[in-house]
């Protein structure tokens, strides 16, 4: 049995979406952002006290990129994964891990807008810089999707894969802080992949981190 340790609207949503797409049996252990992620029992699964953590066949994994690679190699090497020898192997690796580049800027924005409770702790300069960095990541995805290659409906020429899941989930989180208005190809791709049942099943059922649909950067005084 596979057990996913998950907090809604976090990186573990990426693994949850992937598991739904793989159509394998799994169960979810839901956590909230409280002391449970710092308990010794949980730290034995994920030493940094973060989600996701994955339990599978008596083994334990953490880090979404590693989890994505392992699950694809084991359960979907050609449909959602791209194995060594595949023409799209290099691009698959790049985009699966690019999701973390985007996510780190979103995490900084989440800290500024949500985690810091007092206004005096927040920095409008950091908000603006991190939002601009998210925009640069959107530029990179837009450029990839705008390349005039036949069948470029997804990040890989060979079709939908875990790369779309990884980056798509990162874009889902980033859209709380930066709109897709200036990135039409990205917006079209995002609409396409989020129609999938796997994405819909990975959305939070009862709330999440964010209590707003959008958080704009504060003006710099």
- Confidence class of residue 127 from pLDDT cuts 50, 70 and 90? very high
- Give the integer Cα–Cα distance in Å for 92 and 22: 17
At residue 100, the pLDDT reads: 97
pLDDT in tens, 50-89: 999 999 999 999 999 999 999 999 999 999 999 999 999 9
- Give the integer Cα–Cα distance in Å for 145 and 148: 8
Q: Are 102 and 142 in contact (CB under 8 A)?
A: no
- Give the integer Cα–Cα distance in Å for 28 and 74: 20
| C-alpha angle 179-182-184 in degrees, rounded to nearest 5 | 100
- State the fold for domain 89-202: Glutathione S-transferase Yfyf (Class Pi); Chain A, domain 2 (1.20.1050)
At residue 38, the pLDDT reads: 86
At residue 219, the pLDDT reads: 87
Q: Are 58 and 3 in contact (CB under 8 A)?
A: no
- Confidence class of residue 34 from pLDDT cuts 50, 70 and 90? low
- Give the integer Cα–Cα distance in Å for 136 and 105: 11
Q: Tell me: domain 2-75, CATH 3.40.30.10, correct?
A: yes
User: 């340790």: which residue's tokens?
Assistant: 5
Asked if domains 2-75 and 89-202 share a fold, the reply is: no
Is residue 117's pLDDT more than 90?
Answer: no
pLDDT in tens, 128-180: 999 999 999 999 999 999 987 766 899 999 999 999 999 999 999 999 999 99
Which of 98, 71, 55, 28 lies closest to 79, judged by CA?
71
What average pLDDT does the segment 100-106 reach? 98
Q: Are 128 and 220 in contact (CB under 8 A)?
A: yes
First to last CA, the chain: 54
% pLDDT > 90, the chain: 86
Q: Could you state, in order of their start, the residue ranges of all structural domains in the chain?
A: 2-75, 89-202
At residue 208, the pLDDT reads: 83
| C-alpha angle 154-55-94 in degrees, rounded to nearest 5 | 30
Q: Could you tell me the CA-to-CA distances from 102 to 77, 97, 137 in Å, in that order?
A: 25, 9, 6
Sign of CA dihedral 191, 193, 197, 199: negative
């Amino acid at each position: 049995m596979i057990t996913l340790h998950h907090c809604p609207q976090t990186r573990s949503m990426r693994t949850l979406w992937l598991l739904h797409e793989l159509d394998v049996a799994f169960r979810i252990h839901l956590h909230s952002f409280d002391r449970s992620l710092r308990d010794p029992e949980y730290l034995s699964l994920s030493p940094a006290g973060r989600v996701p953590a994955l339990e599978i066949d008596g083994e334990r994994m953490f880090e979404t990129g590693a989890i994505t690679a392992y699950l694809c190699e084991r359960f979907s090497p050609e449909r959602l994964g791209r194995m060594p020898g595949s023409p799209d192997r290099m691009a698959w690796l790049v985009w699966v891990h690019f999701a973390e580049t985007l996510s780190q800027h979103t995490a900084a924005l989440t800290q500024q807008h949500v985690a810091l409770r007092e206004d005096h702790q927040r920095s409008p300069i950091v908000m603006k810089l991190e939002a601009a960095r998210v925009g640069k990541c959107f530029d990179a995805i837009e450029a990839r999707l705008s390349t005039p290659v036949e069948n470029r409906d997804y990040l890989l020429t060979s079709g939908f894969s875990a790369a779309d899941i990884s980056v798509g989930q990162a874009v889902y989180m980033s859209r709380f802080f930066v709109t897709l208005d200036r990135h039409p190809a990205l917006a079209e791709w995002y609409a396409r992949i989020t129609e999938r049942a796997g994405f819909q099943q990975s959305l939070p059922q009862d709330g999440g981190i964010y209590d707003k649909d959008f958080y704009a950067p504060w003006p710099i005084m």
